[in-house]
Amino acid sequence: MDTNTPAAVAASTGAGRRGRRRTAALLSVLCTSALLATACGGGGAGGKESSNHAKPKLVSQLPAAAAKDVDHLTIGLPKGEPASIDPLQAIDYSTDLVISNLCDPILRLTPDFDLKPNVATSWNWTDKKTLVLTIRKGIKFWDGKDLTAQDVAYSMERSLGPGAITGGPLQLAKSASASGPYEVTVKFKSYDEQFVKQLAAPSYAVIEKAWAEKAGKNLGTAKGGLMCSGPFKFGSWTSGSAIELERNDAYWNPDYKAHARRVTLKPLSDSSALTQALVSGEVDGAWEVPPAVISSLKSAKSGSLHYGPAFQYLELSVADSTSAPLADKNVRRALFKAIDRKGIADVVFKGAATPNYTSLPPSSRDKGAEDLYAAAAREYEKANAYDIDAAKKLMASSKAKGRTLKLVTMAGDETQSQVAQLIQQQAKVIGLSVAIDARQPLQYGDTFVNPSARKGVDLTLAVGFNQTTDPLELLGFLAVPGSAYNFGFDDPVATKAYNTARGIEDPRERAPYVLTLQERFQSSYHDTSLVAPYEISYFSDKLTGATTSMAYMFTPSLALLGSPS
């Protein structure tokens, strides 16, 4: 059978074990921690999975702030201090937040994840290999110089080059050039349906060409900063302490003119330090609040918790599938089946997540073909459901019992710590030992982009995110050879399906090929999403206007924060 056809997809996604069971093992694990004690209300083999936390109501945007100015805001950086604020490095929460408030992307993503004009007022495919962007007139950089097509083309060329983490196999563009004072033409090797969607991401932020060429290697650093056109200007960056932003009073877009004259961004990656700062009022708000501290913040009187839609996922990845014991696919599959994802969503995430059984989170489904991806997801849920007995049978055919796996997590992240401990305990039930290696943020980040940093590592745990609602974005990074986060998967059928899919404009015509790619990758058991977390934020009750969906990373979200009256 040709596995690149719709018929093959329908057959392949129907495979796998059915049914889900709960054993006493999870209850035993959960009861070892006071934080998880709420799950210990009974159950046992064959019983229902715990459901102690009601699903929160999801809101994308708080009511708009009043026109009254705010003198100063202090906001927690979502995942600690960024290594750089160069758009070429825009693959991290903190980096994206800073860039999105300093610089204008070519297109704009709304809080509901819709694509709107921004620097480009329109875009048009004149043929399958040519995209023409019309650039808005009247935008000025902070230094007063006009933003032109030359600046846009220069910024795009940087993002398409070999130094861009977000480039590579994700793009088929050959070049971007100014075809007029306010027109940019992008040439392609072949049509890429992902490309326009990516233009709202911080990796396509527009920087001033002349300034950037002069700044050289200092661009995006604490010493050099940036020269952009956004609602805030780069003020200063004291490494390890704070990044200071100053309002751009000449900002061109009245809908995003900043209410705050000055914003201090503080790196607070440690869960306890962030909680203390929010409760005390030292920090006015933060996104990416760890679920582990929800209970503490619910009782705080300084502000309120908010929940919003997100396109992120808690991902467990096999860092090395060539060395024992994870060289055995049955061991990888057994481990994935031994993890109670519903328990993690309900207990660790306090209901602020949905369990997931494939690498693709629900938020990555193509608009217009959501039903096709949802049907496939239901089959993955049946195949990969929590089932200790099935996991033990898979382990019985291997020689992996008693072997130790090294699992890398980020130090200071209490949520990751709790999930890692659950994985550790549930792996023990099927005969695997898991050693947790909690790495400091910079060392932890290096694990994912530096192969030498993964030496001796078996598994990684991370919260990742998409920049678009498109399944090819994530699968391109994970499943295409040579991609940034592909840790060893190489399947010619999957690669062919990926290359075919990105050349198809219609989402329903594209879906069968995406589903083939997904099935080939998932059946290798290299990677899985455990849960799809919601966006969790906390803001002082003295503020409103917050973007509470994950679009906060891709919009000038700091500019919208202001006084409610």
Burial 249-265 (b: 16+ CB within 10 A, else e): eebbbeebbbbbebbbb
Provide the mean pLDDT of the chain. Answer: 88
Q: Is the pLDDT of residue 256 over 80?
A: yes
- SS3 readout for 302-347: CEEEEEECCCEEEEEEECCCCCCCCCCHHHHHHHHHCCCHHHHHHH
Residue 78 binned pLDDT confidence (cut-offs 50, 70, 90): confident
Residues of the chain with CATH 3.10.105.10: 311-533
Q: For the residues 189-206, what does the mean pLDDT come to?
A: 93
Q: Which two tokens stand for residue 441?
A: 């943020």
| In 290-412, alpha helices (H) | 294-298, 329-337, 341-343, 370-383, 388-396
Handedness of CA 274, 295, 361, 393 (dihedral sign): positive
| Residue 277, beta-bridge partner list | none
CB atoms under 10 Å from CB of 180, counted, come to 12
Lowest-confidence pick of 142-156, 181-195, 442-456, 505-519? 442-456
Residues of the chain with CATH 3.40.190.10: 70-266+535-560
Q: For the residues 165-179, what does the mean pLDDT come to?
A: 77
CA distance 349 to 354: 9
Domain 70-266+535-560 annotated CATH 3.40.190.10 = yes
Q: Is the pLDDT of residue 10 over 90?
A: no
Cβ atoms 366, 397 nearer than 8 A: no
Q: Is the pLDDT of residue 3 over 60?
A: no
Cβ atoms 265, 98 nearer than 8 A: yes
Q: Which two tokens stand for residue 166?
A: 């977000």
Angle CA(340)–CA(345)–CA(349) in degrees, nearest 5? 135
Cβ atoms 286, 537 nearer than 8 A: yes
Write out the E strands in 413-544.
Answer: 433-439, 459-465, 527-533, 535-540
Q: Quick: pLDDT tens for 220-232.
A: 999 999 999 999 9
pLDDT at 145: 98
In 3D space, the residue among 542, 533, 538 whose CA is nearest the CA of residue 562 turns out to be 542
pLDDT at 271: 83
Backbone angles phi, psi at 408, to 5 degrees: -90, 130
Q: Is the pLDDT of residue 36 over 50?
A: no
Q: Is the pLDDT of residue 270 over 90?
A: no
Residue 168 binned pLDDT confidence (cut-offs 50, 70, 90): low
Cβ atoms 484, 445 nearer than 8 A: no
CA distance 77 to 98: 9
For 273, the 3-state DSSP assignment is helix
Backbone angles phi, psi at 376, to 5 degrees: -65, -40
CA distance 458 to 475: 21
User: With DSSP H G I counted as helix, E B as strand and the rest as coil, what are the percentages for the chain, rounded to 5?
Assistant: 35, 20, 40
Q: For the residues 461-478, what does the mean pLDDT come to?
A: 90
Q: Is the pLDDT of residue 1 over 90?
A: no
pLDDT at 534: 96
Cβ atoms 366, 322 nearer than 8 A: no
Q: For the residues 282-290, what does the mean pLDDT come to?
A: 95
Residue 22 binned pLDDT confidence (cut-offs 50, 70, 90): very low
Percentage of the chain surpassing pLDDT 90?
74
CA distance 288 to 462: 13
Cβ atoms 390, 384 nearer than 8 A: no
Token pair 């920049």: residue: 467
Q: Which two tokens stand for residue 456?
A: 């001796």
| CATH label, 311-533, candidates 3.40.50.2300, 3.40.50.720, 3.40.50.300, 3.10.105.10 | 3.10.105.10
Percentage of the chain surpassing pLDDT 70?
89
Backbone angles phi, psi at 109, to 5 degrees: -100, 130
In 3D space, the residue among 139, 197, 410, 414 whose CA is nearest the CA of residue 297 turns out to be 414
Beta strands 70-77 and 285-286: pairing type?
parallel
What lies within 8 Å, CB to CB, of 73 at 6+ separation is 260, 262, 263, 264, 284, 285, 543, 558, 561
Q: Is the pLDDT of residue 203 over 80?
A: yes
CA distance 154 to 158: 6
Q: Is the pLDDT of residue 49 over 80?
A: no
Give, as one character, the DSSP assignment of residue 549: S
Q: For the residues 347-373, what does the mean pLDDT come to?
A: 93
In 3D space, the residue among 400, 101, 117 whose CA is nearest the CA of residue 244 turns out to be 101
Q: Quick: pLDDT tens for 230-244.
A: 999 999 999 989 999
CA distance 210 to 220: 15
Residues in the chain: 565
CA distance 447 to 449: 6
Q: Kindly tell me the burial class for residue 212, based on how many C-beta atoms sit within 10 Å of its own C-beta (0-12, 13-18, 19 or more).
A: buried
CA distance 377 to 307: 24
pLDDT at 397: 85
Angle CA(8)–CA(10)–CA(13) in degrees, nearest 5? 100
Cα-trace Rg, the chain = 23
Q: For the residues 484-500, what does the mean pLDDT come to?
A: 93
Lowest-confidence pick of 11-20, 237-246, 533-542? 11-20
Q: Quick: pLDDT tens for 409-420.
A: 999 888 899 999
- pTM as predicted: 0.85
Angle CA(376)–CA(313)–CA(534) in degrees, nearest 5? 105
DSSP string, 379-400: HHHHHT---HHHHHHHHHTSS-
CA distance 82 to 95: 5
